[in-house]
Chain A
Amino acid sequence: MKSARCLLHLQCLRLLDRSARSAAQCAPLLQSSSSSQPSVLHKNQHQLLRQFHSSPAWSKSQPTPADDHKKDKSLVTNDDLFEQVAKDVKVKATFNKVVDVFLNRDVRRRGHVEFIYAALKKMPEFGVERDLTVYNKLLDVFPKEVFVPRNAVQRMFNHYPRQQECGVQLLEQMEEYGVMPNVETKVLLVQIFGKKAHPVRKYQRMMYWMPKFKHVNPFPVPVQLPEDPVDVARFGLARIANDLDAKVNVYQLPCTDITETGEEITIPHVVGIQSPSQMELLAKHNPNRPVFVEGPFPLWLRQTCVHYYVLRADPPEEKVEEPYDPERSLYYPLQLDVDFGRDLGDEENFDVEDLDEGPVFAMCMTGRGDQATLNQWISGLQENNPMLGQVPTLFRVNAGPQELSASADAESGQAHRPDTKTRSGEKLQRDGEPGVIVEEEPQRRQGRNQ
């Protein structure tokens, strides 16, 4: 609604413009008509006034002098502007200040395209890359009306391509950061480029798809991950387990101690998760068959990579079906004494999730992936799972996560690397070759914990 009304005003303004009336004449008119639309239209008004000063004809017919041009257009200048104005603190306020400085510097806004490009690049530095108002403010830097095509020929060809490209680039960056434009954006775009220009088309496409994709992920990761590694581990584990009954246990809190000799000792965090059904599975596990601690496996939470370990066993050799107890249900038979099963047409047993990969009994995340730390976890688990005392526990642990996450952090482009490394290690191990990375040490947990 709002946008439609704004557009209407805009058209009316354009008419005014064409008839070449003085700005003074139209200002009061605008004032009265826009009283109900405070923010957007006031801005319009200012722009309009300014725009009358520098009509498109003027800017086209009189190219800026060469020396001026160079000085203003160079990218360095604009970068410098940011560095100058925001020397110490890079926050939204200073960013806005920079934009204001630019706006006030030259009424013709010479070099605005370069400025916008520079600003877009600087946005993450100022932490405003997800701020819609800042994007709108940047868009506002474009002079209005100037780039709107006025006749069929202009409309047919790419009118002011650099400016349009710049506008599209701005929208693209918004899209990249998941910022959805709003009506103000649209009004601005229409004012700047006209109703059917590329940036407006881009805007329309964004408004079609972005809402549709906004909630498409059933397991959303928050934009701001918690700082505390324990909280991250908590979140990550709950995310993989995807079981509302699963309980997260912090077996060890991270802390740093300085011993008398001056050595620094860091105790890594150990956070584990286990659900009641996993406990049940573990309790039923055949004690003669070992359980494995495996890992680290990577888990990406937006930009951060964390690693987890699993406690699992090989798939049971044969499925033991519980014998049917006819004296179980007091009210109705739980099983029919009929000889035949399902008809083929109603056979829906196939399930992609029903694979014999063996049960997973618990998962954990830790700050350090060595065996001593993982032992902490296992002994913590043993409190609620006495079965673990009788089962041999094998550690199939690859290189520690520090190294992996370091490489992952260093270059996000090679994000898949730790993963493949882990896989290959696993494969080696599966083949029975005691590889270099693989550390396998069967041991009786019972003995250790006495």
Chain B
Amino acid sequence: MMMNANRLVVVSKCVQSCKRLLACNVRHAGKKIQQVQQQRLFRTHCRQLAYAKDLFLGSLNKDEVFPYPEIGKEELDEINQLVAPVEKFFSEEVDSAKIDREAKIPEETLKGLKELGLFGLMVPEEYGGLGLSNTMYARLAEITSLDGSIAVTLAAHQAIGLKGILIAGTEAQKQKYLPKLASGEHIAAFCLTEPGSGSDAASIQTRATLSEDGKHYLINGSKIWISNGGMADIMTVFARTEVVVDGVKEDKISAFIVERAFGGITSGKPEDKLGIRGSNTCEVSFDNVPVPVENVIGEVGGGFKIAMNILNSGRFSMGSSSAGMIKKLITMTSEYAATRKQFNKSLSEFGLIQEKFAVMSLNAFIMESMAYLTAGMMDRPGLPDCSLEAAMVKVFSSERAWICVSEALQVLGGLGYTKNYPYERYLRDCRILPIFEGTNEVLRMYIALTGMQYAGKITTWKINEIKKGNVGLAISMLVKRMMNKFSSSVDLGLTGKDGVVHPSMTESAKMLELNVTHFGWTVETLLYRFGKTIVDEQIALKRVADVLINLYAMTAVLSRASRSITIGLKNNDHEILLTNTFCSEAFFKNNYMIHQLQTHTPGNSDANIKKIAAEVLQDRSYICAHPLEGIY
């Protein structure tokens, strides 16, 4: 009996050590390859680590996002000094209702904006700008967003219009153009979209041909929906050029700095829009516009990368601007809710009204947290690639902004629907947010596919390794899966001894950890299931993006609230409350979506959705018989 038991113990020990050995081996190999992969992946980027991408592997790179980024006292003073006059200007001198009514920003308002330096926020000081960091830019965007038209005009000018010169221009180009752009003497525009080309760069028709003397390019074509198109003096124009690659002539896109003074540029009638009516959007046509060769931004044929970089870099500020808008709306509507009485009770005593305010402040809090976390990450030394994070901020805040503005309007009921109050204008203005700077649909694809690509490299390696006969890896993966299936809690290091999250939010942190682990596992499953055809599984990818956005939002609020409570900011208990509320809500949503991502689960009605759409689209109309119809 004793003997037997002993033997059993020995055997089990042996097995365990074997397992450990194998696992060790595997982990080691895995790490190595991961390093190799990362090196290969990030050769173009300076930063070695990426938070959002790592979530796709189920790992939580806490050093990236904890502690929450801070700015020093001097910077804080500086930004406060900047903010005060701008805030004053917007509350006293900007008549948003008039701008909206007349669909034009008055000259004196524009002049005021220029005097405040708002046209050159990100331009370095040596070129006459304010040289603000991303964080400070985000802070100012909170205020400029109080008027949608002005915000869009400014964004079109500096977030995309002059960004090309800023990030890829030569010193001479910068010297020549930036000072006047920074002062607002010249206004910039970004000309990419064409009648036949939205996201599809291959269908860009505008063409730049080299003149015979080789000194000029002649640009021909037309661009649509150009913000500031009617008043811009300097434009970043993307056009096809003929480039010789390896002896073969190819059409590639190049970016040009085009001055209106070059001649041959005509702008169409401003578009009559739903919202942001004061901003100038129109068609711009180019008819044999001569552009000197030295006005090419970057290399000839390198326009695609420049366009992508400009678009990717401009998005992060939408979080803070939406938050700014919602904060203002909360102040306005809570005033009304507190004074308006029904049944001898003020509106603020009704649960359904209270819920609206909770939703608004929760969302404002999350947007703020995400926006400043991203801005802080972008401000780190080197040129970190935060395009994934920025895209998440954009998608989240643009959608939540619409919900919040709509709720704010609802608090006022019929009054909110009239033009006597600004709510309908805010509602119209913020409808553009999910559309421009990349529609939320394409951004969701970007978010999901970028991560999938990252995770796919590692999965490919694993599969190849197993094919080669690495049994250890296979077993370790199997064991990991089993553990995943049966464990209800995981430790990714957010709490506990080396924890970064304040103990008051331990539960929320645990939820995040659990979600991250399951998410990584789900991504792996999806990759195994669909392989490279995952690009066609858009409904699944949308869920992947949504889970990731929630995870990032959870991280941001956890990080921010932990900092607040640790350093003792005012009302930090309220932040904790908001954080815990959001985290538990997001946790269940994530679980549901992750569940839907599994094969053939009851909650997953993707096949039905596709079928419904196919049947409707085939007839191009609603196909059900009218309920009043019968067969007689």
Contacts and interface: CB of A to CB of B under 8 A. Distances in A.
A340 interface: yes
Nearest to B456: A338
17 contacts: A210-B631, A325-B202, A327-B253, A330-B200, A331-B438, A331-B443, A331-B445, A333-B450, A333-B453, A336-B452, A336-B534, A338-B452, A338-B531, A339-B532, A341-B532, A342-B530, A343-B529
A211 interface: yes
A215 B533 CA distance: 38
B626 interface: no
Interface residues of A, number: 27
B331 interface: no
A343 B531 contact: yes
Given A329-B200, A330-B201, A330-B307, A343 B528 contact: yes
B453 A337 contact: yes
Nearest to A338: B456
Interface stretch (B23-31, B459-467, B494-502): B459-467
A328 B308 CA distance: 11
A333 B531 contact: no
A180 interface: yes
Given A211-B631, A331-B445, A342-B530, A336 B456 contact: yes
A332 B463 CA distance: 26
- Name which of B200, B304, B446, B533 has the most chain A CB atoms within 10 A of its CB: B533
B476 to A, nearest CB: 20
Nearest to B464: A339
B17 to A, nearest CB: 34
Contacts of A333: 446, 449-450, 453, 535
The 3 closest A-B pairs by CB, nearest first: A332-B446, A338-B456, A211-B631
A334 interface: yes
Interface in A316-355: 325, 327-343, 345-346
B614 to A, nearest CB: 13
Contacts of A336: 449, 452-453, 456, 532, 534-535
A332 B528 contact: no
Interface in B499-535: 527-535
Contacts of B201: 327-330
B532 A340 contact: yes
Given A180-B631, A182-B632, A331-B442, 18 more contacts: A215-B631, A244-B620, A327-B202, A328-B200, A330-B201, A330-B438, A331-B199, A331-B311, A336-B532, A336-B534, A336-B535, A339-B532, A340-B460, A341-B531, A343-B528, A343-B529, A346-B530, A346-B599
Contact of B311 (A210, A330, A339, A343): A330
Nearest to A346: B529
A215 B629 CA distance: 12
A214 interface: yes
A340 to B, nearest CB: 4
Nearest to A334: B535
A346 B534 CA distance: 11
Interface of A: 180, 182, 210-211, 214-215, 244, 325, 327-343, 345-346
Nearest to B600: A345
A347 B366 CA distance: 40
Residue of A210, A336, A346 with highest tally of chain B CB at under 10 A: A336
B632 A332 contact: no
A345 B202 contact: no
Interface string B610-621: 000000000010
Interface of B: 192, 199-202, 252-253, 304-305, 307-308, 311, 438, 442-443, 445-446, 449-450, 452-453, 456-457, 459-460, 463-464, 527-535, 599, 620, 625, 631-632
Contacts of B307: 330
B460 A330 contact: no
B536 to A, nearest CB: 10
Contacts of B200: 328-330
A336 B531 CA distance: 9
A7 B608 CA distance: 46
A342 B532 CA distance: 7
Contacts of B532: 335-341
Nearest to B197: A330
Given A329-B199, A336-B453, A345 B632 contact: no
B286 to A, nearest CB: 20
B291 to A, nearest CB: 21
Contacts of B631: 180, 210-211, 214-215
Nearest to A210: B631
A210 B464 CA distance: 60
Contact of B460 (A325, A334, A339): A339
Given A180-B632, A340-B531, A345-B529, A331 B453 contact: no
Contacts of B533: 341-342
B252 A327 contact: yes
A64 B199 CA distance: 90
A338 B453 contact: yes
Nearest to A336: B532
B456 A337 contact: yes
A324 to B, nearest CB: 11
B531 to A, nearest CB: 4
A330 B528 CA distance: 27
A244 B619 CA distance: 8
A327 B304 CA distance: 6
A179 to B, nearest CB: 12
A338 B459 contact: yes
B463 A340 contact: yes
B446 A331 contact: yes
A321 to B, nearest CB: 13
Between A244, A341, A343, the greatest number of chain B beta carbons within 10 A of the residue's beta carbon is seen for A343
A286 B529 CA distance: 37
Contacts of A328: 200-202
Contacts of A182: 632
Given A338-B460, A340-B531, A332 B449 contact: yes
Nearest to A132: B632
A280 to B, nearest CB: 14
Contact of A342 (B253, B305, B531): B531
A338 B442 CA distance: 20
B541 to A, nearest CB: 9
A345 B528 CA distance: 10
Contacts of A341: 531-533
A232 B306 CA distance: 56
A330 B452 CA distance: 18
A345 B456 contact: no
A334 B538 CA distance: 11
Contacts of A335: 532, 535
A334 B457 CA distance: 16
Nearest to B530: A342
Contacts of A327: 201-202, 252-253, 304-305
A331 B192 CA distance: 13
Nearest to B527: A338
A345 B442 contact: no
Contacts of A343: 528-531
A343 B526 CA distance: 10
Nearest to A327: B304
A214 B307 CA distance: 57
A360 B270 CA distance: 45
Nearest to A343: B529
A346 B253 CA distance: 38
**Which of A211, A327, A330, A338 lies at the interface centre, i.e. has the most chain B CB atoms within 10 A of its CB?**
A330
Contacts of A211: 631
Contacts of B199: 329-332
A215 to B, nearest CB: 8
Nearest to A213: B631
B442 A332 contact: yes
A374 to B, nearest CB: 31
Contacts of A339: 460, 463-464, 532
A336 B450 CA distance: 9
